[in-house]
Structure 1
Amino acid sequence: MTIRLGQIAPDFNVDTTKGPMSFHEWAGDSWVFFFSHPADFTPVCTTEMGRTAQLAQEFAARNVKPLGLSTDSVEEHLKWIDDVNDTQSCDLQFPIVADEDHKIAELYEMIHPGESETAAVRSVFIIDPDKKVRLTMTYPMAVGRNFDEILRAIDALQTADANSCALPADWKKGGEVIIPPSISNEKAKDMFPQGWNELRPYLRLTRI
Structure 2
Amino acid sequence: MEQHETRNAPCAGLRIGDEAPDFSARSTAGKVQLSDYRGKWLILFSHPADFTPVCTTEFVALAREADEFEKRNCELMALSVDSLFSHFAWLRMIRDRFDLEVRFPIIEDPTLVIGTAYGMVAPKDNDSATVRTTFFIDPDGIIRAMTCYPANVGRSTPEMLRMLDALMAVDEEAALAPANWHPGDPMLRQPPANLDDVFSAKGETDWFLAETSTEDRK
TM-score by length of 1: 0.87
Q: Which of 6, 31, 34 is the aligned partner of 2:17?
A: 6
> Could you give the per-residue CA deviations for residues 151-174 of structure 1, whole angstroms, max 9, x where no partner exists?
001000000000100011111110
CA apart distance, 1:113: 8.2
Unaligned runs of 5+ in 1: 185-196
The one-letter code sitting in structure 2 at the alignment partner of 1:79 is: A
Q: Quick one: distance in 2 between partners of 1:36 and 1:176?
A: 33
Partner in structure 2 of residue 204 of structure 1 = 210
Q: Which of 107, 114, 132 is the aligned partner of 2:142?
A: 132
The one-letter code sitting in structure 1 at the alignment partner of 2:191 is: P
Please tell me whether residue 90 in structure 1 is matched to residue 96 in structure 2: no
Q: Which moved more, 1:166-175 or 1:82-91?
A: 82-91
Q: Quick one: distance in 2 between partners of 1:84 and 1:103?
A: 27
The answer (yes or no) to whether the contact 1:33–1:65 under 8 Å persists in 2 is yes
* Structure with a larger share of its residues in strand: 1
Structure showing greater radius of gyration is 2
Q: Note the aligned Cα RMSD (angstroms).
A: 2.3
* SS of alignment partner, residue 107 of structure 2: strand
Please tell me whether residue 118 in structure 1 is matched to residue 127 in structure 2: yes
The one-letter code sitting in structure 1 at the alignment partner of 2:34 is: F
Q: Which of 28, 39, 43 is the aligned partner of 1:29?
A: 39
CA apart distance, 1:48: 0.7
> Could you give the per-residue CA deviations for residues 115-152 of structure 1, whole angstroms, max 9, x where no partner exists?
x6412511000000000000000000010001111100
> Could you give the per-residue CA deviations for residues 45-96 of structure 1, whole angstroms, max 9, x where no partner exists?
1111111111111000111100000000111101110112233342211000
Q: Per the alignment, do residues 13 and 205 of structure 1 end up closer, same or farther by CA in structure 2, a change over 3 Å counting?
A: same
Unaligned runs of 5+ in 2: 1-11, 195-202
Q: Per the alignment, do residues 198 and 132 of structure 1 end up closer, same or farther by CA in structure 2, a change over 3 Å counting?
A: farther
Q: Quick one: distance in 2 between partners of 1:86 and 1:183?
A: 58
CA apart distance, 1:199: 5.0
Percentage of matched positions with identical amino acids: 38
- Aligned length in residues: 196
